[in-house]
Amino acid sequence: MSDSIEPVAKTRGSKQQREQDLALASELVERARAEGVELIGPGGLLTGLTKTVLETALEVELSDHLGYDKHDPAGRNGENSRNGTRPKTVLTELGPVEIDVPRDRAGTFEPVIVKKRQRRLDSIDQIVLSLTARGLTTG
């Protein structure tokens, strides 16, 4: 895993892929409108997507660190295991986003995507939009 996150470069996909991306984006926007959810701002669609992407990435990082997936019996009675989460507010281009950062019992987990004591994420919004366009969903 690299130490930095770079926005995904625009790629020239097939016409079918571009149409699927457009359909997914339209579906998300229509669902947000139907539910009365704003696109940006506190509680907005993009804020929720950012939270989901960050928390999922942090869970994957912790699984890599511990050597087993969440709820895997291999982690029982081990030397190190999951130990809940702690809330953290990070500042993005969309505004503040509160995330739950997973912890381990030994305190040896060093997250990469949102480092310890890091408060500002500069390019995460571009990453979220790119992943959403490629089919990442929140449910």
Average pLDDT of every residue of the chain: 81
What residue numbers bound the domain in which 115 lies? 15-133
Q: Which residues touch 8 (CB under 8 Å, ≥6 apart)?
A: 126, 127, 130, 131, 134
Average the pLDDT over 75-97 and give the result. 88
Query: Does residue 3 belong to any structural domain of this protein?
Result: no
Query: Does residue 2 belong to any structural domain of this protein?
Result: no
Query: Does residue 138 belong to any structural domain of this protein?
Result: no
Query: Does residue 4 belong to any structural domain of this protein?
Result: no
pLDDT tier at 28, thresholds 50, 70, 90: confident
pLDDT tier at 62, thresholds 50, 70, 90: very high
pTM of the entire predicted model: 0.68
For residue 10, count other CB atoms closer than 10 A to its CB.
Answer: 8
Average the pLDDT over 11-28 and give the result. 77
pLDDT of 137 reads 57
pLDDT of 13 reads 60
The answer to whether the CB of 66 falls within 8 A of the CB of 104 is yes
Query: Does residue 33 belong to any structural domain of this protein?
Result: yes
Query: Does residue 9 belong to any structural domain of this protein?
Result: no
Rg (CA), the chain: 17
Query: Does residue 6 belong to any structural domain of this protein?
Result: no
pLDDT of 105 reads 93
Average the pLDDT over 81-106 and give the result. 92
pLDDT of 31 reads 80
Element (H, E) at 95: strand 95-104
Q: How many independent structural domains does the chain possess?
A: 1
On the question of pLDDT at 9 being above 90, the answer is no
Query: Does residue 62 belong to any structural domain of this protein?
Result: yes
| Cα three-residue angle 87-133-38, rounded to 5 degrees | 55
pLDDT of 77 reads 79
